[in-house]
A = this chain, B = another copy of it.
Amino acid sequence: MTTYLNGVSLPPSKRVSIFGGTHGNEMTGVTLVRQWIKNGAEVQRAGVLVTPFIANPKAVERRVRYIDQDLNRAFTPEILSLVERKDLPCEVKQAQEINRLFGPKGSKDAYDVIFDLHNTTSNMGCTFILENSGDDFILQMVNYIKCTLGQSSCHVLLNEHPELKYETTRSVAKHAVGLEVGPQPQGVIRSDILKSTRQILKYALDFIQLFNKGEEFAACDLEVYVLDASVDYPRDQHGDISAMIHPHLQDRDWQPLCPGDAIFLTFDGKTIYYEGEGTVYPTFINEAAYYEKHRAFVTTRKKVLPAKGVKIRTV
Shortest Cβ distance from residue A83 to the other chain B in the assembled complex, whole angstroms: 30
As a 0/1 sequence over residues 115 to 127 of chain A, the CB contacts with chain B under 8 angstroms (1 = contact) are 0000001000000
On chain A, the number of residues with a Cβ less than 8 Å from chain B's Cβ atoms is 35
Q: Does residue A314 face the partner (Cβ distance < 8 Å to B)?
A: no
* Stretch in A101-109, A161-169, A183-191 touching the partner: A183-191
Q: Are A192 and B267 in contact (CB under 8 A)?
A: no
Query: Which A269-298 residues sit within 8 Å CB-CB of chain B?
Result: 286, 288-289, 291-292
Q: Does residue A265 face the partner (Cβ distance < 8 Å to B)?
A: yes
Q: How many copies does the complex hold?
A: 2
Q: Identify whether the interface residues of A are mostly helix, strand, loop, or mixed.
A: loop
As a 0/1 sequence over residues 19 to 41 of chain A, the CB contacts with chain B under 8 angstroms (1 = contact) are 00000000000011011000100
As a 0/1 sequence over residues 243 to 273 of chain A, the CB contacts with chain B under 8 angstroms (1 = contact) are 0111100100000000000000101100000
Top-5 shortest CB links A-B = A185-B185, A187-B288, A121-B185, A189-B244, A191-B247
Task: Using CB atoms and an 8 Å cutoff, list the residues of chain A in contact with chain B.
Answer: 31-32, 34-35, 39, 63-64, 121, 183-192, 194-195, 240-241, 244-247, 250, 265, 267-268, 286, 288-289, 291-292
